[in-house]
Structure 1
Amino acid sequence: MTTLAPVLVSAALLATVAVARAAVDNAALPTALRVPPGHELRLWSLGKGEVRYACRRQAGAGGGYAWVAGESAGRLYDLYLREIGWSYGGPTWKSVDGSKVVGLPLAAAPAGEGHLPLQLLRAAGTSGQGTMQGVSYIQRLNTRGGAAPNQPCDARRVGREMAVGYQAEFVFYGRRER
Structure 2
Amino acid sequence: MKTPTSPIVAPVALLTSAVLLTSAALLTACSSMGGTSQKFDQASVPESVRVPAGHKVAWETTGRGLITYECRDKANAPGMVEWVFVGPQADLWDRAGRKVGTYYGPPATWEAMDGSKVTATQLAVAPAGEGNLPYQLVKANPAMGSGAMQGVTYIQRVALKGGVAPAMACTMAGKGQRQTVGYQADYIFWKS
TM-score (norm 1): 0.89
Q: 1:156 to 1:109 in 2, by over 3 A?
A: same
**Which residues of structure 2 form unaligned runs of 5+?**
1-16
Residue equivalent to 2:71: 55
Q: Report the equivalent of 2:28.
A: 10
Q: 1:61 to 1:48 in 2, by over 3 A?
A: closer
Pairing partner for 1:69 from 48, 68, 85: 85
Q: What value does the CA root-mean-square deviation take over the aligned residues? A: 1.8
Q: Distance in 2 between matches of 1:58 and 1:120?
A: 26
Does residue 161 (structure 1) correspond to residue 172 (structure 2)? The answer is no
Aligned to 1:140: 157
Q: Write out aligned runs for 1:60-139 (5 A).
A: 60-61=76-77, 63-89=79-105, 90-139=107-156
Alpha-carbon separation, structure 1, partners of 2:97 and 2:24: 23
User: What's the TM-score once normalised by structure 2's chain length?
Assistant: 0.82
Q: For the residues of structure 1 that align with 2:80 and 2:109, how far apart are their CA atoms?
A: 31
- Matches of 1:59 and 1:3, distance apart in 2: 65
| 2:57 paired with 1:26 | no
Task: State the 1:37 CA deviation.
Answer: 0.4
Determine which structure has more spread, i.e. the larger CA radius of gyration.
2
Runs of 4+ more than 6 Å apart: none
What do the CA deviations read for 1:7-55 (whole angstroms, capped 9, x no partner)?
Answer: 256336414323x1xx111123211111100000000111111111011
CA positional deviation for 1:61: 4.5
Partner residue, 2:59: 43
Q: Provide the rounded CA distance (Å) in 2 between the counterparts of 1:154 and 1:130.
A: 45
Q: Which amino acid aligns with 1:86?
A: T
Tell me the SS of whatever aligns to 1:10. Answer: helix
Distance across 2 between alignment mates of 1:33 and 1:97? 28
